[in-house]
Amino acid sequence: GKEESIWMLEHEPVFTLGTAADEKHILKKTDIDVVQTDRGGEVTYHGPGQLVVYPILDLEHFFTDIHQYMRFLEEAVIKTIAVYGIKGERLDGMTGVWLDPGTSKERKICALGVKASRWVTMHGIGFNVNTNLDYFSNIVPCGIEDKAVTSMQEELGSPLDLNEVQSILLQELKDLFGFRVL
């Protein structure tokens, strides 16, 4: 049988550096921990109100295509926020889920940073549900200077039930990948 896991959690405030990260992208020293990771990508922030999702999947049970895997993760988030009336999209040449891509108002609601070893996936997504966005001003998120970050709370004007958002996202992941989660 397929032994797949999906961890969904909130982190204490932390800045993480991916393999492409530049220390200079942490703009000012704070008392928040900075952790080097082996995921792809640059620097990002994780903290309360943000849903961090770590799928641990053997892609040989699904498809051996890391790009398709990343598109599936994005699609699950796009479908989740659509339930709340938020239109998420992809931005050419960038990973993650974006609102109003290609306009002067484009902003990122979900970041991706993944790694696979022998087709087993690690790391995953940082999905801003009720995240305090002030922390992003301490860094250059994902090394992108000119792009804003947003959250569901920011877009809708009030905090969401994180457990509810989490269960919708889990269902979308199950439907896309076609597996049951115990």
Please identify every residue annotated as catalytic: 142
Q: Following DSSP, what letter does each residue of 106-165 receive, concatenated?
A: -EEEEEEEEEEETTEEEEEEEEESS--GGGGGGB-GGG-TT-EE--HHHHHSS---HHHH
Q: Cα–Cα distances in Å, from 24 out to 14, 16, 127, 141?
A: 16, 13, 24, 11
DSSP β-bridge partners for residue 114: 123
Q: Cα–Cα distances in Å, from 50 out to 7, 20, 133, 163?
A: 13, 22, 10, 11
